[in-house]
Chains A and B, each alone.
Chain A
Amino acid sequence: MKKLMEKLGIENIDELFDDIPEEIRIDGIDIPPGKEEIEVEREIVSILKKNKSFEDMPSFLGGGIKPHYVPPAVRHIVSRSEFYTSYTPYQPEFSQGMLQSMFEYQSVICELTGMDVANISMYDAATALGEAARMSKRVSRKDVFIIPKNISWEKKSVLANYAKNAGIKVEEIPYDREGRADISALEKYGNGEVAGIYLENPNFFGIIEDRIDEINEMKEKTGAMVVMGVDPLLLSIVKPPSEYGADIVIGDGWMGNPMNFGGSRLGIFSCRKEHIRQMPGRIIGATVDKNGKRAFCMTLQTREQHIRRGKATSNICSNEALCAIAFVSYVAIMGRDGLRSVAIKNMENAKYVASKLSSIGFETPFSRNFFNEFVAIPPVDAEALNEKLLKNGIHGAFMLGQHFPELRNGLLYGVTEMHTKETIDRMVEMTREAINDV
């Protein structure tokens, strides 16, 4: 610092801060002094020790996020510091690596969803829903956005914040006896009244959507945009949402990204090409360089805040780009057939848990057509059951009662390829014992 100060001809560093008014100047911050690297690492490790991870304590939580395997190759790819220490690729000639990876991500998302275009990510699945509602309104110029009653309360809350200041009215439809969004409830809406309808596949109760004709029919009747929230893994084995009339497909882009306490994941966002000008977020396009060689760059930026300022389709700037690189490298490592076998494994494991629980007195109130989550009602108090399990080192399923009073004693189980037969059997055995104790 001294050398630089001499070169600039200043004696006191504070000369550079002269513009700050005297009365608000401070000298330092009221936090402890800096620590050595080794001390910081020790301190953080010792705090984090108070957490119980999936390794410490198998869990059967679902509700949008579930544990999945991240292949080591994916970690190594996203740990390349040329990727993770780069900025948004404003200089394409120096960012071809990131740009091509992002282009591949968009291609993979489009293949899975059947949509024509995908952006490079939203913050998460909930904000993607908020943006989708706003986009439906921009496209349709209508104000009503319809959601099923059974989506997560977090998504409802985020959606409310994105919707209300855009003049969007969010209305709910109930779920039917099978636990599926009750599409017949849409009959009260006339043609042209609704901006968009949100459906999930699988839905919050884990149920796979199979009403292809009914959804297409409903779409025709109402003239509304269909927004579909998906688990990308399921899409490797079922027909893409484009065949269910979807105009916008969103979702939690968990692939290659750990649970991370719910953060540092991405929101999938894809749509049909006729609506691309109304789409939020960054888009990568292929082009050529001046020698005619294939090249990639950010494109259609006139929708974005740094060009359009107040008139942009969204304010999004930073997104979850590195999570998109994790996603596309996960898909590449697993491959088409790898994805499909993981999807099948998820479904089989979930079915195995459900049948085991049925055999010890649980009821499964909804359709048996579920993916990797399902609702089950224990023969004893769900909360007491979970407490028992937790004492024995297993985290029970998500309790639905708080947000779905009609399912007061309901549990939402999440089961994936991470749950071994041994883990499942142990959980079922402990559950059986707990039922006898409670």
Chain B
Amino acid sequence: MYRMANYDEPLLNEIEERKARDVEIKISDKIRREKLNLPSLSERDVVKHFIHLSQMNYGVDTGIYPLGSCTMKYNPKLLEEVARSDKVEHIHPRQDETTVQGSLEIMHNLEEALCKITGMDAFSLQPIAGAHGEFTGMLIVRAYHESNGEERKEVIVPDSAHGTNPASARMAGFEVVEIPSKDGRVDIDALRSALSKNTAAFMLTNPNTLGIFEKDILEISKEVRKVGALLYYDGANLNAIMGKARPGDMGFDIVHLNLHKTFATPHGGGGPGAGPVGVKAELEKFLPVPRVVKEGETYHFDYSSRHSIGKVSNFYGNFPVLLKAYAYILMKGSDGLKEATERAVLNSNYLMSKVVGKHYTLPFGGSRMHEFVVSAKNLKERGIRALDVAKRLLDYGLHPPTIYFPLIVEEAMMIEPTESESMDALDKYAEIMNIIAEEDAELVRNAPSNAPIGRVDEALAARNPVLKWGDF
């Protein structure tokens, strides 16, 4: 039977100090620090501490991790290995160009591959995360309209959008107009009436967060273009269409990708990730500096674009993440990426066929792609909520799906199994979800009972913030 390790692991400051020594601080009295409340521990004790903690954590390597919109696919080990070289780690960002030709070549090649995959004309690898890519994209939207002598104030997002979309638009100074969905898709009429000469851009995820492909995309892009606005692609769900369709052909002007999703670089418990931004040719001049350019057989940083939005992060992006994504693309190649997409969509449809039934219902008709959202509202009459199902899954050693998103589905459970899972793993997941739906309601509500700790009191954490060890 499954069981996660469970230690009563002390905090670092509660471990016995074994390595204290005197260090003379030769610095003026005026600024010298007398007290520094950090422990001096032995390496043995520190390693034990963190190994214990790692054993109280669940990763993709542990098992299925079907968080919708997060694309928790397996991260091939080669990717970690190539990033561990001193030619990656011990490279200073201000080194002379002639001494970083390898890094520049990788960046250049990756940009080209991403252009081919998405149908865009140019990429910047500088944004550090998906939301950072969105912010960069919105700055480009603003620069574009300003260069046309226009000050457009509104960005439209569907009500099924990721929370980062409206947040990023706001950060770039736009007002956000949210439009309702119709049958799980963009309501073209609502879009049409929201669009105006004041619209700067429409942000869209395709397939959307319900896993439904926006099949009217060509009409959508026509409408957006008609008012002179730009169409922005949130690349969170690119895993559903690689080798099948390209955002660039759908009429998108700007895209961001999440390399830590689609291109198999690990999520690291929340990061580091990478959120490259791709644009059509007419927007290239607005991309952040520096650009990587190839002249003959050598590579250069080009800072010359007068129209560039400038910089969005300190240097050139999260280089190790970029390298890992490049290694993944080389490994998969043209057919491999297409197959990853096919298998992801197939896995999702198969799991959906096993999960959807009397307990879990599928809102909205039509087909789904790499992910699907079910509603657990039928369980409510037994007093079971989506949250309870999620917590009970932990007891079986399975990571739950994303819950309560998108907001337009009641008791939402958003499931994305990715291409990495076997049929057996999917069968088991569906079986357990259905078993839970019929289990004793009390047992489910009290879950987890087989995890390192019981259900966490999150309300107490917010009411009485204890945010460092000194706060206890």
Contact = CB atoms under 8 A, between A and B. Distances in A.
B89 A286 contact: no
B312 A95 contact: no
23 contacts: A4-B346, A26-B243, A34-B334, A44-B82, A47-B102, A52-B99, A53-B91, A67-B90, A94-B451, A96-B452, A117-B468, A127-B128, A127-B132, A161-B311, A260-B319, A263-B321, A288-B460, A299-B467, A310-B167, A310-B176, A336-B37, A344-B23, A369-B28
Contacts of A317: 129-131, 163-164
Given A80-B51, A261-B103, A299 B268 contact: no
A33 B271 contact: no
Given A87-B67, A289-B453, A59 B95 contact: yes
Nearest to B26: A344
Nearest to B176: A310
B134 interface: yes
Contacts of A118: 467-468
Interface stretch (B55-63, B191-199, B277-285): B55-63
Interface in B403-424: 405, 423
Interface in A321-362: 321-323, 325, 328-329, 331-333, 335-341, 344, 347
Given A37-B78, A296-B456, A297-B456, 19 more contacts: A19-B212, A20-B245, A34-B333, A51-B99, A81-B59, A94-B4, A97-B53, A97-B57, A123-B128, A166-B173, A264-B318, A282-B270, A287-B457, A302-B462, A315-B131, A315-B164, A318-B270, A332-B12, A336-B40
B31 A239 contact: yes
Contacts of A212: 30-31
A25 B119 CA distance: 12
B331 A35 contact: yes
Interface string A90-106: 11111111101111101
A337 to B, nearest CB: 5
A179 interface: no
B23 A337 contact: yes
B249 to A, nearest CB: 4
Interface stretch (A140-148, A150-158, A191-199, A425-433): A150-158
A336 to B, nearest CB: 4
Given A19-B215, A305-B167, A340 B313 contact: no
Contacts of A390: 96, 98-99
Interface core residue of B22, B31, B273 (most chain A CB under 10 Å): B31
Interface in B321-360: 321-323, 326-327, 329-338, 342-343, 345-347, 349-350, 353
A290 interface: yes
A223 interface: no
A29 B26 contact: no
Contacts of B246: 24, 26
Contacts of A1: 342-343, 346
A93 B453 contact: yes
Contacts of B162: 306
Interface stretch (B13-21, B375-383, B436-444): B13-21
B230 interface: no
Interface stretch (A71-79, A169-177, A181-189, A374-382): A71-79
Given A19-B367, A26-B244, A235-B33, A290 B457 contact: yes
A65 B93 contact: yes
B466 interface: yes
Interface residues of A, number: 184
Interface string A224-259: 000000000001111110000000000010000011
Contact of B342 (A13, A54, A123, A124): A13
Nearest to A100: B53
A29 B54 contact: no
A38 to B, nearest CB: 9
A37 B332 CA distance: 10
A372 interface: no
A96 to B, nearest CB: 4
A421 interface: no
A139 interface: no
A122 to B, nearest CB: 9
B333 A283 contact: no
A91 B102 contact: no
B458 A287 contact: yes
A366 interface: no
B314 A28 contact: no
Contacts of A264: 272, 318-321
B242 A29 contact: yes
Interface in A99-128: 100-104, 106-108, 110-112, 116-118, 120-121, 123-127
